[in-house]
Amino acid sequence: MSRSTVLPHTHTHTHPLAYDLQRSGPHQLLAVDPPGGRRVVEALGDVALADHVAVLVPGNGHHLGTYFADEGPVAPRGRGELLLRTMQALAPGARCAVVVWVGYHAPEGLGAAAWIAPARAGAGDLARLTHHLPRSAHLKLVGHSYGSTVCGLALADARADDCVALGSPGMGVWRREELGDGVRLWAAQSGSDWIRFFPRVRLGSVGLGRSPLHPEIGATRIGTGDVTGHCAYYEPGSESLLNVARIAVGRYDAVTPAGGAPVATDLRTRRALVATEVAA
C-alpha cells in the first residue's frame, strides 16, 4: 500500500472508487470524489501495518460536503476516532486502525432510506475495499442504520471476519446464506430505538431485507447498556461502544449479550478509557 504525500485521486460519481492510500494535509484518504461529489473514504491510524481494522459505514445523510466540517455527536469521522481510541485502550499491545467509509451515495431523509438502490450501488465498492486492505489484518465491518444494509449486501463478496449491525433497518437480504460464509454477525439494538418499528417489506426496490435479529439471519445480539434512541451506539464509554471495540480487536470473550452485566476491566484499561472519554 502506497504512502505517497500527493493529493488523492478523484473520481466522477459514476465510476467505481479507486482505492489508493494518499495524504492530503493531515488526512489519509483512500478515495475521494471531486469537489461537489459525495464520497470520501479516510483511514485513521496506520492501516498498512494494522493487526485489526474496523471499517465504519455510517447511515443516511452523510456525504463529502459535511464530512470534514461535521463535529456533532453523529459525525462519522468523530465516531471513527472514538472507536479507534477505544480499540487502542482495550488492546494496547495491538496495532489498530479504522477506515471511515462514506463510499456510497447515502440517501437523504427517512423516506429515501426505504429504497435499497443506494445500498446495492455502494456494496461492490465496499467489498472491493476489503480486498484492498492488507491481508494480514483482521477486518471488521461496522454499519450503523442504513450503513448496515450496505454491509449486508457487500458481505457475500467481502473479506471480513465480523460484521456488526447497529440499529439496523435490514441487512438487504432475507436468508443468512446470502451473507456469505465464515463471517460472524453481531447486532445491537437499544430498547428505545425506533428502528424496531421499521417495516420489513420488499416491494421491488422498496424495503431493506430482514433485521439481523430475525431468526432467518441469526445475528448474536450484543448489549448496549443504557444508550437510548437510534444514534447513541457510539456514546463514549457505553457498553455499546465497548462491545463494538471488543469485537473489532477480537476480544470475543468480553462481549456482553443483550441484557448481560458489563464486564469488569482492569485499572490500566479503565484509565485508558477515561482518557478516551475526555478526548471525545
Residue 129 lies in a domain: yes
- Residue 18, in any domain of the structure: no
Structural domain includes residue 31: no
Start-end of H helices in 190-266? 239-248
Which pTM does this prediction carry? 0.89
Residue given cell 494518499 in the structure block: 22
- Whether 20 maps to a domain, the answer reads no
Question: Is 190 within the bounds of a domain?
Answer: yes
Instruction: Look up the domain containing 208 and give its range.
Output: 44-59+82-93+114-279
Q: What is the pLDDT along the chain (280 residues), one digit of tens a residue?
A: 433 322 333 333 468 999 999 888 899 999 999 988 999 999 999 999 999 999 999 999 999 999 999 988 899 999 999 999 999 999 999 999 999 999 999 999 777 788 899 999 999 999 999 999 999 999 999 999 999 999 999 999 999 999 999 999 999 999 999 999 899 999 999 999 999 999 877 666 778 999 999 999 999 999 999 999 999 999 999 999 999 999 999 999 999 999 876 766 665 666 666 666 666 6
According to DSSP, the β-strands at 138-144 and 52-57 are parallel
Flag whether 104 is in a domain.
no
Question: 264: Cβ–Cβ under 8 A, 6 or more apart, which residues?
Answer: none
30 domain-assigned: no
**What burial class does residue 14 get, using C-beta atoms within 10 Å of its C-beta: 0-12 exposed, 13-18 middle, 19+ buried?**
exposed
State the greatest distance between any 2 C-alpha atoms of the chain, in Å, as a whole number. 53
CATH number at residue 118: 3.40.50
Q: Domain total for the chain?
A: 1
Whether 224 maps to a domain, the answer reads yes
Cα–Cα dist 244/210, whole Å: 21
